[in-house]
């Protein structure tokens, strides 16, 4: 047990800042998952789930110690919803790959329809309104300014929207991630979660590249003939 606790709490020091190894490793799993998503490979989902589980323990500082002595409830809660949504995406892509063939990409990307886009944008806006109030009511464990809860809610809801859109194979999910990163990087830097902030910056370049790749694929490939009835 002592060995496990030692490994769990292991840190490295960079420029005088203490960083948990599990924050670094969790983010590397997240980056690997993003690469798998870009390539439309089913393994992207279970790899991402491992990273989400590790990062939950990092951001939920009220229960798991971290060098920052802070809890980012929105960041922690979104790891749970990441796992839930990723289970759905894992199942959907796996079923799709079985119908398309093992050597083919799991899905053919496309743009969300007007109705689908309106739906997720309304859900994003409504979710931010609700969760900024929830997060403020729970508190951050420190005297956080009001903008903090709005930023945390934006990241939380936007991440869920982006992950769901990825599971559906919509090009829109890359744009949703850009919107999340624009708020996520400054918040993580402010909260001194430096490995996560650096990965978000690197991830932003991957997101732009992934968007271009999926956009080209959506133009070159035929629309996915697989229906919801076939996936059921």
pLDDT band at 62 (very low <50, low <70, confident <90, very high): very low
Domain that holds residue 139: 2-231
Show Cβ contacts of residue 124 under 8 Å, excluding neighbours closer than 6 positions.
157, 158, 161, 176
**Structural domain count of the chain:** 1
For 180-232, the pLDDT digits (tens) are 989 988 888 887 777 678 777 888 888 999 999 999 998 888 765 554 444 44
> Picking from 51-65, 96-110, 119-133, 194-208, which range would have the lowest pLDDT averaged per residue?
51-65
> Is 60 exceeded by the pLDDT of residue 125?
yes
159: how many CB neighbours lie within 10 A of its CB? 22
What number is the average pLDDT over the span 78-103?
A: 85
Q: Average pLDDT for residues 106-120, to the nearest whole number?
A: 93
d(CA 40, CA 104): 9
Alpha-carbon distances of 10 from 28, 65, 144, 156, rounded to whole Å: 16, 11, 28, 27
Query: Does residue 152 contact residue 75 with C-beta atoms inside 8 Å?
Result: yes
Q: What is the pTM of this model?
A: 0.78
In this structure, the dihedral spanned by the alpha carbons of residues 102, 106, 110 and 116, taken in order and rounded to 10 degrees, is 140
78: confidence class by pLDDT, cuts 50, 70, 90: confident
Residue 1 has a pLDDT of: 52
């Amino acid at each position: 047990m002592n060995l496990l606790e030692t490994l769990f709490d292991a840190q490295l020091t960079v420029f005088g800042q203490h960083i948990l190894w599990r924050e670094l490793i969790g983010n590397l799993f997240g980056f690997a998952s993003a690469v798998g998503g870009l390539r439309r490979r089913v393994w992207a989902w279970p790899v991402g789930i491992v990273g989400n589980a590790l990062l939950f323990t990092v951001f939920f500082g009220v229960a798991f110690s971290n060098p920052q002595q802070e809890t980012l409830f929105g960041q922690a809660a979104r790891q749970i919803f990441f796992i839930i949504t990723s289970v759905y995406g894992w199942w959907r892509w796996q079923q799709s790959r079985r119908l398309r063939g093992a050597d083919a990409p799991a899905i053919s990307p496309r743009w969300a329809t007007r109705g689908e886009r309106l739906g997720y944008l309304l859900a994003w806006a409504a979710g931010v309104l609700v969760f900024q109030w929830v997060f403020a009511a729970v508190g951050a464990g420190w005297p956080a300014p009001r903008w903090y809860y709005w930023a945390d809610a934006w990241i939380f809801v936007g991440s869920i929207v982006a992950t769901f859109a990825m599971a559906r194979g919509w090009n829109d999910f890359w744009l949703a991630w850009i919107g999340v990163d624009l708020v996520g990087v400054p918040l993580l830097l402010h909260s001194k979660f430096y490995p996560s902030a650096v990965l978000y910056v690197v991830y932003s370049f991957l997101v732009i590249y992934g968007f271009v790749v999926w956009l080209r694929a959506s133009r070159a490939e035929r629309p996915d003939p697989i229906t919801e009835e076939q996936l059921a």
